[in-house]
Structure 1
Amino acid sequence: MSTISCEDQLAQFQQFRQNVYANFPLNRDSVMDLLDAITGNITAQTPVELCEHPSFRRGYSALYKAIRQFFVPSSPNTAVAERKQLQKSLLKTLSPLIKAPTKRNFHLFGLDTTPIPRPFSPTLPDRTYIHQPNTIKGNKPINIGHQYSLLSFLPESEGTQNIPWSIPLSTQRVRSNTNSIAVGVEQIDTTLHHCPAFEQEQLSVLVADSYYSQRQFLDALSKESNLVLITRVRSNRVFYRQPSSSETANSGRGHRLWYGERFDLKDETTWHQPDETVQTNFTTRRGRCLQLNISAWHQMLMRGTKEYPMHQHPFTLLQVRVTDEFGQQLWHPMWLIVLGTRRNELTIMDCYLSYRQRFDMEHTLRFNKQRLLMNSFQTPDVEHEENWVQLTQLAYIQLWAARELVSALPRPKRKILSQKNSSFYNT
């Protein structure tokens, strides 16, 4: 926990709210009341019910007016550029709350996409087919609606093991004329170069799922000298070793040899001895003792194209296996690639634990949709939907900003109980 005094924590939180307030162009008081109502919501199932929240001190019509005027572009032609400028301004507002890492030597980010289904909104512009898991066997995991790309900051643990925070730094809708990879690259570039907390030589690590293991994404971000990428890859991929000196010498005339022997993830006979291995034991919540086995192959290559010269970007390949007390493998192995010029500054365990923390984003998205009503706002205007999604992300950030004040400023009854408990333990 932080050693900052209660007064300093309260002053920091008040300053954060003032900075957020200054980013609203119109009807700032109404927008701030709506933001507080979303933050403190525990009973509302739809956005309209928020007008009954004690924090929202206005009428029914003011709620929708606040959503509309959260962001109002000067003209339709400049709407995209002005929304990006608002995102940069909000990053600067959030920056003072982000502390430098102490337990690890890097900042950790997570990138993912989340669907906002709109199957019954035929007049809503720019709807596309989106991926949405379906629990009914045989049904395809698709729907119609919008998709949002979410870049989150994954902070270090503050002493509690069951509170997975992931702070949304940038939430951007994936338009039908682009894709999640292009949007994700833009979000990362904006965050690393326009958020003062990350504009340093401090190493940054980005974790993402297998969708982002494509050449387009890896090649674009390999230009960031202080960024290391950790992505999962499917078990049917084929990689290559670095060509040996003898292979290069025997290549004869013509093009220089770029790739060595094949490394087929589904064919164990093509694997060579790992360059590094790590084994450790861990205990599950149910008390079961399992063993974690990680194997690493350095200087691996991915076949590229003329547009994406992947032979210029070697990476480390990791295989993660979990076995029980009898040595039996429990699940299919997980494969990870670690790419970046500074990847050697991370240990194998750092890479595994970083990717494991990516699942904290799932908890955040579930909380945002169930409690903060992220996907509950029905509107025929796509700009208003983007405003609402941004408001819910700000509400989550405000909860994170106030996390330490919960214990520093307890309610009167809890304050008396905490004083009794402290006097009991002191005796």
Structure 2
Amino acid sequence: MISLHHPDTVPALGDLSGFREAFHQCFTARADALFELTDAALCAEGPVTSLVELSLTAEHRRGHGSLYDGLNRGRLDVDRLRDVLVQQPIPRCAQGRIVLAIDVSHWLRPDANTSPGRLYCHTYGRGRGQAQMIPGWPYSFVAALEPGRTSWTALLDVVRLGPDDDPTHLAASQLRAVVDRLITVGHWRTGDPEIWIIGDSGYDAPRLSFLLADLPVRLVVRLRSDRVLRSPAPPRQPGTLGRGLRHGARFEFTNPDTWPTPAQDTTTDTTRYGAAHARCWDRLHTKLTRTGAWAGHGEPLPILHGTVIRLQVERLPGTGTPKPLWLWCSAIEDDAAPTSEQMDRLWQTFLRRFDLEHTFRFLKQTLGWTTPRVRDPEAADRWTWLMIAAHTQLRLARHLVEDLRRPWERKLTAPTRLSPVRTRRGFRTIRPATALPANAPKPSRPGPGRPPGSRTTRRSRHHNPGKTRKPDTTG
């Protein structure tokens, strides 16, 4: 049954059917098997705990052999699917601005010694200081964020990090490709607000801003609390001999004595965090050295100024005294400090980055993104794109499904505020009203398989996880 409470029911049904048709056309081999596998993940009862169990759902009309054959030998035109994803409605935040978040989520494979392309992934334990490095496949996701507190994001792209990839260069290439697609489709035009890119402390913010300087974007990246930045160099005094200074006074995050008078100082009352005290300092930069990514830089090292924001909240749910949050904004408008309203909008927008964590949890715990124990990383990439397509269908269908609320669940104040889990629960009821491009399976007989009593004589090659060479440092 399709909900008629929302005025956008008919357009939403058209968008969903159009996406399903376009998604089916992105497959170049085993299209019907992979499409029905995606529907099985969407319509299964409860979380996906086993890949072969999906072949028992009514939406998957083929056998379990077809399921594995499609995942291992199917073909997907990834570039075409990227174009289809970016053509869907893109959420916008305040002032009609597009906000993109980039983050890495890991598909842990500690026991897959025969799987190539694994890296050591940083994971957190349950106790303090229990972080571990576990082999797995790291995936870099780019998603468009929605305004307000929500668990919805619009996934636009994903790239698996390989042993030869440099994370910063890969992130810059990925973001550039997404922004170019947004401009090509028409989601961003000349005169629109800049696209904001939100990232965590794992990204080299100055390097990203240098690589993306020609795009209409603004970076807002979290910094570690032990960083040291520099103020602009003081003006050269007349009659001074020698080379002039390139860097000014030190700005140490852990030493308040080095902090000059902030350009803006505001206090905002919030319902979740209490009083939020924010201060910002403009025209601060990192003192770059010719190491790492800047080792092969032929020209003089640039001075990449930015605005630093320090956010201190009164409380955090479930924790003790909260630590301050440090942010770095790449853009400076006319070499002037941002207004108090702009500063508050920056840190409030950064807090929306945590919506991407809800998306990762939904992909892993409900859709079963990291459930299959596939050997080839190419098969893992195909399954990852199927999960992105499934999540996109749920986002397009959230105004169509009825809320199949459990007796112990809280009632929603508005029928359109369904979470991804509740939307998936009712997706099976609206699936017959959408496009069903997959053909009916043809009757066939299974192959002979391995002769009884035979054993495998060729051992699979083992692959050691980790980087294989140093990344390219030219640029």
C-alpha displacement of 1:128: 2.2
Please say if 1:193 is aligned against 2:180.
yes
5 Å-filtered alignment, 1:39-54, equals 39-43=42-46, 44-54=48-58
Please say if 1:17 is aligned against 2:20.
yes
Please say if 1:290 is aligned against 2:290.
no
Higher helix share: 1
1:149-182 C-alpha deviation (Å, 9 max, x unpaired): 111111234xxx4x32122211111001113222
Q: Give the number of the structure with larger relative contact order, counting CA–CA contacts within 8 Å between residues 6 or more apart.
A: 2
Secondary structure at 1:243 match in 2: coil
Secondary structure at 1:336 match in 2: strand
C-alpha displacement of 1:214: 4.7
Q: Percent identity?
A: 22
5 Å-filtered alignment, 1:84-95, equals 86-95=77-86
Q: Supply the distance in 1 between the matched residues of 2:11 and 2:268 (Cα, whole angstroms).
A: 41
Equivalent residue number for residue 226 of structure 2: 236
Please say if 1:267 is aligned against 2:267.
no
Please say if 1:171 is aligned against 2:155.
no
1:10 and 1:293, CA in 2 relative to 1: closer, same or farther beyond 3 A?
same
Q: Supply the distance in 2 between the matched residues of 1:263 and 1:20 (Cα, whole angstroms).
A: 51
1:375-410 C-alpha deviation (Å, 9 max, x unpaired): 111122121111111211211111111111125xx7
1:5 and 1:140, CA in 2 relative to 1: closer, same or farther beyond 3 A?
closer
Q: Supply the distance in 2 between the matched residues of 1:224 and 1:23 (Cα, whole angstroms).
A: 31
Q: 1:321 touches 1:333 (CA, 8 Å); kept in 2?
A: yes
Q: Supply the distance in 1 between the matched residues of 2:348 and 2:222 (Cα, whole angstroms).
A: 13
Q: Supply the distance in 2 between the matched residues of 1:88 and 1:251 (Cα, whole angstroms).
A: 60
Q: 1:191 touches 1:198 (CA, 8 Å); kept in 2?
A: no
The AA in structure 2 aligned to 1:22 is Q
Please say if 1:30 is aligned against 2:21.
no
Q: TM (normalized to structure 1)?
A: 0.82
Equivalent residue number for residue 359 of structure 1: 354
Please say if 1:340 is aligned against 2:346.
no
1:293 and 1:311, CA in 2 relative to 1: closer, same or farther beyond 3 A?
farther
Q: Supply the distance in 2 between the matched residues of 1:310 and 1:263 (Cα, whole angstroms).
A: 20
Q: Supply the distance in 1 between the matched residues of 2:128 and 2:312 (Cα, whole angstroms).
A: 28
1:266 and 1:311, CA in 2 relative to 1: closer, same or farther beyond 3 A?
farther
1:370 and 1:318, CA in 2 relative to 1: closer, same or farther beyond 3 A?
same
Please say if 1:7 is aligned against 2:10.
yes
C-alpha displacement of 1:304: 1.7
Q: 2:172 touches 2:208 (CA, 8 Å); kept in 1?
A: yes
C-alpha displacement of 1:120: 1.1
Alignment equivalent of 1:184, drawn from 164, 167, 171: 171
1:5 and 1:283, CA in 2 relative to 1: closer, same or farther beyond 3 A?
closer
Q: Supply the distance in 2 between the matched residues of 1:42 and 1:353 (Cα, whole angstroms).
A: 37
Q: 1:154 touches 1:167 (CA, 8 Å); kept in 2?
A: yes
C-alpha displacement of 1:2: 11
Equivalent residue number for residue 451 of structure 2: none
Please say if 1:281 is aligned against 2:269.
yes
Q: Choose 262-271 or 139-148, whichever is displaced more.
A: 139-148
Alignment equivalent of 2:396, drawn from 396, 401, 408: 401
C-alpha displacement of 1:16: 1.3
Q: Choose 232-241 or 134-143, whichever is displaced more.
A: 134-143
Secondary structure at 1:104 match in 2: helix
C-alpha displacement of 1:291: 0.7
1:100 and 1:377, CA in 2 relative to 1: closer, same or farther beyond 3 A?
closer
Q: Supply the distance in 1 between the matched residues of 2:238 and 2:49 (Cα, whole angstroms).
A: 69
Q: Choose 174-183 or 307-316, whichever is displaced more.
A: 307-316
1:240-290 C-alpha deviation (Å, 9 max, x unpaired): 112232xx2269344332211111111111111100111111223xxxx72
Q: Supply the distance in 2 between the matched residues of 1:319 and 1:128 (Cα, whole angstroms).
A: 33
Equivalent residue number for residue 156 of structure 1: 147
Alignment equivalent of 1:71, drawn from 72, 75, 78: 75
C-alpha displacement of 1:189: 0.8
Please say if 1:97 is aligned against 2:88.
yes
Q: Supply the distance in 1 between the matched residues of 2:154 and 2:86 (Cα, whole angstroms).
A: 11
Q: 2:91 touches 2:154 (CA, 8 Å); kept in 1?
A: no
Q: Supply the distance in 1 between the matched residues of 2:396 and 2:5 (Cα, whole angstroms).
A: 12
Please say if 1:320 is aligned against 2:311.
yes
Q: 2:280 touches 2:307 (CA, 8 Å); kept in 1?
A: yes
Q: TM (normalized to structure 2)?
A: 0.74
Q: 1:302 touches 1:310 (CA, 8 Å); kept in 2?
A: no
Secondary structure at 2:398 match in 1: coil
Q: Supply the distance in 1 between the matched residues of 2:94 and 2:310 (Cα, whole angstroms).
A: 25
Q: 2:307 touches 2:332 (CA, 8 Å); kept in 1?
A: no
Equivalent residue number for residue 417 of structure 1: none
Q: Supply the distance in 2 between the matched residues of 1:354 and 1:124 (Cα, whole angstroms).
A: 39
Secondary structure at 1:212 match in 2: coil
C-alpha displacement of 1:138: 5.6
The AA in structure 2 aligned to 1:8 is P
Secondary structure at 2:278 match in 1: strand
Please say if 1:132 is aligned against 2:135.
no
Q: 2:278 touches 2:312 (CA, 8 Å); kept in 1?
A: yes
The AA in structure 1 aligned to 2:378 is E
1:121 and 1:292, CA in 2 relative to 1: closer, same or farther beyond 3 A?
same
1:316 and 1:215, CA in 2 relative to 1: closer, same or farther beyond 3 A?
closer
The AA in structure 2 aligned to 1:340 is A
C-alpha displacement of 1:352: 0.7
Q: Supply the distance in 2 between the matched residues of 1:39 and 1:197 (Cα, whole angstroms).
A: 30
1:35 and 1:184, CA in 2 relative to 1: closer, same or farther beyond 3 A?
same
The AA in structure 2 aligned to 1:127 is R
Q: Supply the distance in 1 between the matched residues of 2:217 and 2:6 (Cα, whole angstroms).
A: 30
